[in-house]
């Protein structure tokens, strides 16, 4: 089972610029933690899901496939206007076994 946390307007741009990458306008951070007992493999793509359908985001950084052992976290970053997320309620990542891992885009009360 994957735990997914989406942080819009994250200060990640400053962190990435300081550490390595000089990537500008990065305002999205998605943390994906494996809470299960088996290794999970995901790509750097997800979908936003809402009443009007799904929107695929396949330009997250770092690109490619990612192996997430039990207890480990993978962080994905992107640059998207906050308004892009307004019509959507959930985010979903697919693993290589065909499983879907969902999380709410709305803050918990």
Whether 78 and 26 have beta carbons less than 8 Å apart is answered as: yes
Q: What is the DSSP letter of 36?
A: S
Any alpha helices (H) in 1-109, and if so which ranges? 12-19
Tell me whether residue 109 is in a domain: no
Tell me whether residue 59 is in a domain: yes
75: CATH: 2.60.40
Q: Structure pTM?
A: 0.84
What's the pLDDT tens digit per position in 71-107?
999 999 888 888 888 999 999 999 999 999 999 998 6
User: For residue 70, what pLDDT band results from cuts at 50, 70 and 90?
Assistant: very high
Distance of CA 54 to the CA centre of its chain: 15
Q: Which of 80, 48, 74 is nearest to 62 (CA)?
A: 74
Tell me whether residue 45 is in a domain: yes
- Residue 28 confidence (pLDDT): 84
Tell me whether residue 95 is in a domain: yes
Whether 58 and 80 have beta carbons less than 8 Å apart is answered as: no
User: The domain containing residue 94 runs over which residues?
Assistant: 2-104
How many structural domains comprise the chain? 1
User: For residue 61, what pLDDT band results from cuts at 50, 70 and 90?
Assistant: confident
């Amino acid at each position: 089972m994957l735990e997914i946390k989406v942080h819009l307007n994250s200060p990640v741009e400053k962190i990435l610029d300081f550490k390595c990458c000089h990537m500008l306008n990065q305002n999205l951070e998605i943390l994906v933690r494996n809470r299960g007992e088996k290794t999970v493999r995901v790509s750097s793509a997800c979908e936003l899901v809402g009443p009007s359908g799904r929107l695929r985001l396949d330009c997250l950084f770092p690109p490619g496939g990612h192996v997430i052992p039990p207890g480990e976290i993978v962080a994905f970053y992107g640059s998207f206007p906050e308004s892009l997320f307004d019509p959507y309620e959930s985010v979903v990542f697919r693993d290589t076994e065909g499983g879907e891992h969902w999380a709410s885009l709305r803050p918990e009360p």
